[in-house]
Structure 1
Amino acid sequence: MTQHRLTVGYVPGVTPAKWARTWAERHPTVSLQLRTVPAAEAADALRNGIVDAALLRPPADSSGLALIALYEETTVAMVPTDHLLTAADSVTAADLDGEPILLPLDDVVAWADTPGAPVEHRPETTWDAVELVAAGMGALIVPQSLARLYHRRDLTYRPITDAPVCPVALAFPEGPQSALVEEFVGIVRGRKPGSSRGRAEPAPKRTAREKTLAKQAARAAAGKAARKPRRAT
């Protein structure tokens, strides 16, 4: 491969560690840089060339982007641990009737008729909304991975059984792609090393030192991807 670096963005809650490990094992001499991007800025980061590809929740405006659906997340309601909604293992939209609902400006749940009573003040970010949930200002509807990412001991969450799911996709600019992007697409899709698709060239046989470097790179990439943002206590 003629390039020596691939930059992949990912939004909060998405964990690219397993793909980073596979990349490091197959291409120890080609750097894979993982960059966290805010959900509201992920599409523009691709369009502006800040990242070569991104793992994101599909935006309402996907113009200029190619998307490959990966999986769907359960939608949950985050509430204080002593909230009435915690009495059951799951809730429905009807259970949220009359409940104050926080809608952050970077909201990623595409629910046209969000249940409950939307709070007039819209926090800047999902993390700001989590702080308000802890202060008793209302409930927050998010993908399950974000509820886990922003976990606090005084908060919990319950699946909303009739809520729309939250899809996650691999995105990259439309049009011809570099060999590195094609290779990453193949890895995310689960193609084997010998597949004729998603690979620009066969992988050369590695020396013992290269194998050691690959393992070290995989551990470093996985640790970086799994690191959570610092939270106030």
Structure 2
Amino acid sequence: MDVDLRKLRYFVVLAEELNFGRAAQRLHIAQPVLSRQIRALEDELHVPLFVRDKRSTELTAAGRQLLEDGRPLLAAAEALKRRVAQAARGTTRFSIGFMPGITVTDWVRAFTARHPDVEVELVRTTWDDQVEALHDGRVDVSVVRLPIDQRGLTVRPIFAEPRVAVLPAEHRLAGKESIEIIDLAAERVLNDPDAVPEWRDISVQLREGTAPPARRYTSIEEKLEDVASGQGIAIIPKSTSEYYNRPDVVHVPVGDIGPNQVCLAWISTRRSPLIHDFAEIVS
């Protein structure tokens, strides 16, 4: 049986929203159309994907499995379309993703010296899309910051760098030459707790259940605005703190916290010689 990618895309959006009205709105289709497509997909797969009642819509075990497997399939299809369109234009383009604070200039210069006829495109990524950009074909390689989901990827370490605490300029720890993670136990840290397990394990707010709901940041600039306004502190790589230097925040080294690992990543099944040439330059 062939999987209809349109139905699969409808399913993924509904699985993310768990609400037919919101999902139909995101897809720009009528709600009855979405319902018919989901029923057709369930008939084709011979399994129920959702449990529905008047109050809620939930995924079944089969639905959860399809969501896990369906997302990378849709991303691969999108990457295929991008590369086919590029080939049709008759141009050779090589796209490089990079995270904030990382400078790729020297690597790009060395690469273009080897491949003067290749059009190089640089794409700034974020914590949310540094891997997604690889899977959907926006970039051929990506300079990423760990941790990431490494499934389906080849990942090569490049370097590690210290992480620092970014504090409001008037913070009680702002004048310190360095601090320890225990000094931050009573602080609100704006990172995802799992990204800073050293703090997560000693956080007073997390232990007492008084931590405010975590905010999802789409850029480092947003996070630094909240630090400057006294909403909390952040743990970020040293190069990022230096690149986004501003007078109303300070950064202080944290002596007993692990470094951030910077790596080069690409889709494992890709066999492009350009990818391996760039990897050779970076390493």
1:51-66 to 2 correspondences below 5 Å: 51-66=139-154
Deviations 1:166-214 (A, max 9, x none): 101000001342011111111111xxxxxxxxxxxxxxxxxxxxxxxxx
* Contact 2:166-2:241 at 8 Å conserved across structures: yes
1:24: which partner in 2? 112
1:99: which partner in 2? 187
2:280: which partner in 1? 186
Shift of 1:113: 4.2
Matched AA of 2:197: W
Q: Give the SS at the match of 1:39.
A: coil
* Contact 1:133-1:139 at 8 Å conserved across structures: yes
Shift of 1:112: 5.5
Q: Give the SS at the match of 1:42.
A: coil
C-alpha separation in 1, matches of 2:139 and 2:96: 6
Which residue of 247, 261, 274 corresponds with 1:153? 247
1:6-85 to 2 correspondences below 5 Å: 6-85=94-173
* Contact 1:57-1:108 at 8 Å conserved across structures: no
Name structure 1 gaps, 5 residues minimum.
Answer: 190-233
User: Would the alpha carbon gap of residues 151 and 61 (structure 1) be closer, same or farther in structure 2, given more than 3 Å must change?
Assistant: same
C-alpha separation in 2, matches of 1:6 and 1:60: 22
| Number of corresponding residues | 186
Deviations 1:90-148 (A, max 9, x none): 110111121222226xx894535435446413232233221111111221111112212
Matched AA of 1:122: A
User: Would the alpha carbon gap of residues 68 and 108 (structure 1) be closer, same or farther in structure 2, given more than 3 Å must change?
Assistant: farther
2:92: which partner in 1? 4
Matched AA of 1:186: E
* Contact 1:76-1:160 at 8 Å conserved across structures: yes
Bigger share in helix = 2
* Contact 1:22-1:187 at 8 Å conserved across structures: yes
2:212: which partner in 1? 120
User: Would the alpha carbon gap of residues 60 and 35 (structure 1) be closer, same or farther in structure 2, given more than 3 Å must change?
Assistant: closer
Matched AA of 2:93: R
1:139: which partner in 2? 233
Matched, 1:163 2:257: yes
* Contact 1:111-1:164 at 8 Å conserved across structures: no
Q: Give the SS at the match of 1:25.
A: helix
C-alpha separation in 1, matches of 2:185 and 2:275: 45
* Contact 2:198-2:257 at 8 Å conserved across structures: no
Tell me which structure has the larger Cα radius of gyration.
Answer: 2
* Contact 2:184-2:199 at 8 Å conserved across structures: no
C-alpha separation in 2, matches of 1:108 and 1:146: 20
User: Would the alpha carbon gap of residues 163 and 181 (structure 1) be closer, same or farther in structure 2, given more than 3 Å must change?
Assistant: same
* Contact 2:92-2:119 at 8 Å conserved across structures: yes
TM-score between both structures, scaled by the size of structure 2: 0.60
* Contact 1:103-1:140 at 8 Å conserved across structures: yes
Matched AA of 1:111: P
* Contact 1:46-1:54 at 8 Å conserved across structures: yes
User: Would the alpha carbon gap of residues 162 and 58 (structure 1) be closer, same or farther in structure 2, given more than 3 Å must change?
Assistant: same
Q: Give the SS at the match of 1:100.
A: coil
Shift of 1:20: 0.9
Q: Give the SS at the match of 2:121.
A: strand
Q: Give the SS at the match of 2:252.
A: strand
Superposition misfits of 4+ residues, deviation over 6 angstroms = none
RMSD: 2.2
Q: Give the SS at the match of 1:147.
A: helix
Shift of 1:27: 2.1
